[in-house]
Amino acid sequence: MGIDPGLRTTGWGVIEATGSRLTHVANGLCPSGEGALAARLLSLHDQLTDIVLRFAPDTAAVEQTFVNRDAAGTLKLGQARGIALLVPARAGLEVGEYAPNAVKKTVVGVGHADKRQIDHMVRLQFPGVAIAGADAADALAVALCHAHHMQTGGRLAAALARAGA
């Protein structure tokens, strides 16, 4: 499961990785609306909890916060990111964290790709899949990045085990 945290809209995407084969399971958006920050964070928590219960992923990954000039905005986004980390961790899932540039480099091939390029590459990976929006495409990109890193880590562990045997 990949999560692209946001205060107004959080994207999520669930994929299945079987060997090197990646299959789309579901994707969507968690709108947290307007109003008090605490109510928006509670809404995000409840929606993500429902998604984790519904799709029962084995692992999760969350995109790290991009720090910009608006310190207050970055801090608030960090609180939404905290919910995005908490929900899968509370469900007992291992949670990976990836910098935005690492996700872009894994999915597009360059670390400074824009949202259109990410959306395009995700659609190429999952042809014919309806993607709920740009935030859902970003979340699927996070899931793809995590799957790639998990596969690489698995191959490394297998190679180390063979070398030590």
pLDDT in tens, 22-55: 999 999 999 987 889 999 999 999 999 999 999 9
Q: What is the mean pLDDT of residues 114-141?
A: 95
Antiparallel, parallel or unpaired: β 94-98 and 59-63 = parallel
Is 34 an annotated catalytic residue? no
Question: Of 16, 34, 58, 63, which is the active-site residue?
Answer: 63
The residue written with tokens 């999760």 in the block is 60
Q: Does 156 have pLDDT greater than 50?
A: no
63 is known to lie in a ligand binding site: yes
70 is known to lie in a ligand binding site: no
Banded pLDDT at 153 (limits 50, 70, 90)? low
Banded pLDDT at 70 (limits 50, 70, 90)? confident
Q: What is the CA radius of gyration of the chain?
A: 16
Which of helix, strand or coil describes residue 153? helix
The identity of residue 69, as a single letter, is: R
Q: What is the mean pLDDT of the chain?
A: 90
Nearest Cα residue to 60 out of 140, 155, 118, 126: 140
Is 4 an annotated catalytic residue? yes
Of 112 and 41, the one with more pLDDT: 41
- Domain of residue 51, residue span: 2-164
User: How many structural domains comprise the chain?
Assistant: 1
Is 94 an annotated catalytic residue? no
58 is known to lie in a ligand binding site: no
Q: Which two tokens stand for residue 14?
A: 């669930």
| Domain of residue 30, CATH code | 3.30.420.10
Which of helix, strand or coil describes residue 162? helix
Question: Of 34, 114, 135, 138, which is the active-site residue?
Answer: 135
pLDDT tens-digit profile of 122-134? 999 999 999 999 9
Q: What is the mean pLDDT of residues 105-118?
A: 91
